[in-house]
Amino acid sequence: MPIPSANFGVIALLDELFIQCSLLQANGTRLEDAADHWIKLERGEDFNRKVPPLDILAWCTVCLAAMAAIRRLLYAGSSSPVVNRRRAALQAILGHPSLPSFTSAAVRNSWEHLDERLDERIPAMTTGSLSHIHVAARDLPPGELALKRFDPRTLTIYFAEEGVPLRPAILDAASLSGCLDQAMIRLNTEIVLPWG
């Protein structure tokens, strides 16, 4: 049975959520592999391949952007009645999933508004060192401020001291993907009008 054409709008929204979950999961897999490499490097192993910090930064950025897009579609942002109706309709067709890793925006906002964070942090620095990108399977040296950091040991993305653990987000993306599959089945027999 084909999905009724009246569900065109909600399908577009569900497809966008699917894309963002796919981006998060694919880049999470890349980061898991990168973490394995950097942990082995710390032990003096795995010198026959390279996973550059700039690649890791790119994958982290994609993960954070996907998490932000999911958050905006389902949880936060505008207080417009139209947006609130759309979010409520999406939540309902998805079965009101619990996705705690998508509700916080602190690190994602710090990465997106780096200029403002530098305005706060740099003038206050009187000692120590600064690194823009830091990837290592060990703690930061005392006195070093790492703006964008990936900890392979915990699969955590940091801006300065604030961190977002990726493993829970990847699990939430997998859970949301399952909800999306179920929603598509429901749309065979239900009409969902997210905009009214």
Q: Give helix 8-42 / helix 53-74 axis angle, nearest 10°.
A: 150
- With a CB cutoff of 8 Å and minimum separation 6, the contacts of 139 are none
- Would you state the pLDDT for residue 47? 83
Residue bearing tokens 């894309």: 19
**pTM for the complete prediction?**
0.90
The C-alpha atoms of residue 149 and residue 60 are separated, in whole angstroms, by 9
pLDDT at 22 over 90: yes
pLDDT, tens digit (0-9, with 9 covering 90-100), for 60-74: 999 999 999 999 899
Phi-psi region of 44 (alpha: psi -120 to 50; beta: other; left: phi over 0): left
Question: In the predicted model, is pLDDT for residue 163 greater than 90?
Answer: no
Domain boundaries, the chain: 5-186
Judge whether residue 155 has pLDDT over 80: yes
Q: Write down the mean pLDDT value for the chain.
A: 90
Cross-strand pairs, 131? 146
* 74-111 tens-digit pLDDT: 987 667 889 989 999 999 999 999 998 887 776 667 67
Closest CA to 13 of 68, 55, 72, 57: 72
Of 32-46, 103-117, 132-146, 179-193, where does mean pLDDT reach its minimum? 103-117
Q: What pLDDT score was predicted for residue 196? A: 74
CB neighbours (10 Å) of residue 104?
14
